[in-house]
Structure 1
């Protein structure tokens, strides 16, 4: 049994589905079900005894203690986080609570649970903390990609809160001996992603004939990682990662945002052509995000060298699968685009 936090969110839910498909080991899934948590993503697991879903907050120490006592997991895989930069700019408080206080609460609960474990279970226990490349800050166009030893320079409330959580995880290992591993990933994309992030937002807006908002000049560069590849990397690190180590997980796919959007438009022109003309007609340049990091890039050679992991998807194969998934799942899209979602889009984009 493993305990997964945030397992109804985009990456967490994909991980739960991937984990059960590949290992079959049962999962206790703790998720608060905020706007980004969606049980429809896990609909295929209804009635599956290997999946125990618990709605709850990682800041609730009594609940976390009770779950650890009842289910006796051999590992905690910690995805639960507020993760959208724009939302962190509009309301940083929830990011501090979930990402910092929540991680602290989990670490303390895990430390108490692990300290009381008997051998050999104690030696096998792991706390895997899932983080982001945004903690490293912004890269110049010709600068080397982020390695695991790159200094932390977070530039948004979101990345600052994740940097804080990374430091807590490191400190709990070095001070208390808690057996932790950390992964810092690049931008994920794929099925079931909430349409506030770039790729799903562009797909759903294009299909609806709405503007495709491009921040600034569209030349902000990111490395793109297909979510199923990220899931396989986490499984690999959980199984074989060295205690106390950090592993950067990337897709080897650096690309400007404008290229991403034009690629999506071209695929939609092929798969779902619009009578109004090519989808690029909807491109709309808007005021840039405050403090927008110019470039992220992940050097993922360490995880390849030490653990033998490499992504299976290229960006070309991954983005085509992603567009096709959104075309095939209009009901899922419609159900997540609630009044709350529409209010958020208005808040973030109306002023731009």
Structure 2
């Protein structure tokens, strides 16, 4: 039955689009109108008065996220709900780059189905429906990944600038996704092996800095000067890594307990299974099939950048806040469903 369902491109496309648009409608309808944490309160207040010194929001300012919230706020009176709806719209747009990435291994219809499976993940939907920057950042991360893959295939200079522009957008939404810069470094390494041109890499580096300066200069101007901005940066960084940030450096918990909590509670139980036994069992079945195949379908640069972020989230983020593992959840789901469907279809073909 599954073979015929996956093989019917028109039915599969309509089914997947139905899921995606139903999710969009439901998430907009039930987007959180409440600011339930101090961070969410700070973001909501920033829509009316953007002031880092007043912690509206805190450093680094999340300017692109706040700007997106302001645009939605013009149509939605509740600032918290406006931010949540911006997240939902951004996540819906991520369907496009996910489909383009999965099309390398499957038909467009199957790629759309995989995207729907990833987008419908309970924990991802839960976080995306809140007035925090995580949902919008995850969406831009997928556009960034798509731009990296496109730049690997085409040498046109403006194509090479796309990942740099999306990475700047990503940093202006959520700075903690900085470890994904590894994807750009992998891209430049491949470019160097192909062209052996120092000037070319230097131009790309200069362009990357200029793209980041767009939002940094804007936030610094809003604070009055670069001096004020960098004082805030040093103060926030020091507090995050040494005092209240919940990082490995400030945590008295043994390392082995931190690793177990991060892997099994944050990623597996909360992020993937959304603390649901049935979902946990389903994903265990899927991963059992994948383990038998033992073949990775994702590009190496995605796996490397995902691993680097894994280490960052484990050691440099607060593991008491599982939302920091959101990119890992989506990467695991994309990898799992892509491999599972390909393996299942291969078995069906072999048994036909």
Same fold (TM over 0.5): no
Point out the structure with the larger helix share. Answer: 2
